Structure 1
Amino acid sequence: MANLSAVFSEKERTNWLKAWLAVDIAKAGIEQFVENEAITLQASIYKIVWSSSQAPAACIGCHTANLLKCPTKNVCNKWGSQSTCNSMHDSALKQPRPCPANVCNKVHDEIVKRHRFNNPSWKNTTAQQWATNPWQVGKAYLPPDGYAGKTTVQDTDFNGIISFMMNCKHFYNRLSFLISPGNHNSPCLLTKARDIGKTVRHSSHCKVTDPDLQVIFTTLACLLSDPTCLAHDVAAKEAVRKLAELYRQ
Structure 2
Amino acid sequence: MAHAIHLKNNKYRQWVKAGLGLGYLKEGLAPFCDDIGKQQHNDIINQIQQTKTPQPNVPCSTCQITTLQPDHVRVSKGICPLKQDKCNCCFTNNKKPCPNNVCGAIYDSIIQYHASIPPAPFWKNSDVQQWSTEPWQVCKCFINAPGYKDKISADDTDCTGLIHVIINNKYFHSHIGCNVTGPNNLFSKVRLYRNEIFHSSNMELEESKANSYIDDMIVVLQDSKELVHRQDAQQAVGKLQDLKKKGFIITTEDFEDILRQIKDEMAKVLKSTENAATKSEEEYEDLKNRLTELKAQMSEAEKKHLELKRKFTVLETEQKEEIKRLMVEDSPQQNQLEYEKVKSGMFYRI
TM-score above 0.5, yes or no: yes
Tell me the TM-score range normalised by the shorter chain. 0.7 to 0.9
Query: Does the Cα contact within 8 Å between 1:7 and 1:13 map onto a contact in 2?
Result: no
Query: Does the Cα contact within 8 Å between 1:75 and 1:122 map onto a contact in 2?
Result: no
CA change 1:27–1:126 in 2 (3 A) is: same
Q: Structure 2: which amino acid aligns with 1:57?
A: N
Question: How many pairs align?
Answer: 223
More relative contact order, 1 or 2 (CA 8 Å, 6+ apart): 1
**Does residue 46 of the first structure (1) align with residue 64 of the second (2)?**
no
Q: Deviations over 1:170-225 (max 9, x none)?
A: 1221111111313xxxx112111101122112211211112211211110001011
**Structure with greater helix share of residues:** 2
Partner of 2:146: 145
Q: Which has the larger radius of gyration?
A: 2
- 1:95-174 correspondence runs (5 A): 95-117=94-116, 118-174=119-175
Partner of 2:63: 62
Partner of 1:23: 22
What is the CA distance between 1:64 and its match in structure 2?
2.1
CA distance in 1, matches of 2:46, 2:133: 14
Match of 2:67, SS state, is: helix
Unaligned 5+ residue runs, structure 1?
Answer: 1-5, 77-82, 84-88, 90-94
Match of 2:146, SS state, is: coil
CA distance in 1, matches of 2:152, 2:173: 24
Match of 1:161, SS state, is: helix
Unaligned 5+ residue runs, structure 2?
Answer: 71-77, 79-83, 249-350
TM superposition score normalised by structure 1: 0.83
Runs (4+) of structure 1 exceeding 2 A deviation are 71-76
**Among 240, 245, 248, which residue is 1:243 paired with?**
240
CA distance in 2, matches of 1:74, 1:234: 42
CA distance in 1, matches of 2:190, 2:196: 10
Partner of 2:195: 198
User: How much is the aligned-residue C-alpha RMSD, in angstroms?
Assistant: 2.3
Q: Deviations over 1:11-58 (max 9, x none)?
A: 111100000001101101111001001101111111221111131422
